[in-house]
Structures are given as structure tokens and as C-alpha cells.
Amino acid sequence: MRFVLTALAMVGGIIFVLIGLGFFFQPQSTGASFALLPDGIPGLAVMRADMTAFFVVGGGCMIWGAWKRNGELLLVPAALFAIAFTGRLVTAVVDGATPQFWLPMLVEGATVIVTLLASRHLPHQAVGEGEAL
């Protein structure tokens, strides 16, 4: 179980980092696949900065946590994707949803579940543990 969760976190992290790099280098085409259309240069900047940060930090923590077998690092993407899932859920309730609406929620929900389960099965380190003074 631990190996499978670690592998899922690693593969998912790589995919998310690649998506983040897509937003950095090709914000218009990557954004279009997420139904995002920039409003001029400021909109491109938001996509390039914010979406890159979200996916690279989330995916990077998944990769690092899986590689180092450190469950604490997996709590960062769990929080990021839980907030994204909650935002989509609120939108579905308040504004309604389309048939294409559910796949991103499924990915976000699965990411939260995998990262929380992996975090639970991987070791945790106390802050400052193992550091030389």
C-alpha cells in the first residue's frame, strides 16, 4: 500500500509540475485546456504566475514528499487541492455546473485522498529533528 501511494504521489506530482510549466511557457494554450481565457497582458501574467505557482508547488511537494518518504510534505498539496475542490463545489452549488465540470473535481478529490493517505503511511519528522545546532 505504501509503495502504491508513494508511486501515485510521484507520478501525480510529475504531471502537475508539467502542467505548471505549461502555464509558464504557454499560458494561452494551457489555459485554454482549462477553460481559462486571459484578459490581455495582465490576464496572461495571472495565468503565468498563479497557475504555475499552484501546480509547481503542489506537484513539487508531491515529488519531494514521495522521494524523501516524508508524509509532512504531502500535506501541502492536500491543502492546495482541497481548497480548489471546495471552490469548485461552491461554484457548482451557487452558479451551477456543466458536464465538463466534474472531471477537474474528480482529479482534485483524488489528489486530496492520495496525498492524505500517503501522508498517513509515510514517516513524519518533528520540526528541527535531525538538524545540527
Q: How large is the greatest C-alpha to C-alpha distance in the chain, in angstroms?
A: 56
Distance CA 13, CA 81 (A): 12
Which pLDDT tens digit goes with each residue over 99-125?
888 999 999 999 999 999 999 998 877
Can you give the pLDDT at residue 60? 97
Residue 56 neighbours by CB under 8 Å, 6+ apart: 16, 17, 20, 21, 24
Model's pTM, two decimal places? 0.89
Can you give the pLDDT at residue 133? 47
Distance CA 49, CA 43 (A): 10
Q: How confident is the model over 17-31, as a mean pLDDT?
A: 96
Q: What is the DSSP string of 3-42?
A: HHHHHHHHHHHHHHHHHHHHHHH-HHHHHHHTT----HHH
Q: How confident is the model over 10-28, as a mean pLDDT?
A: 97
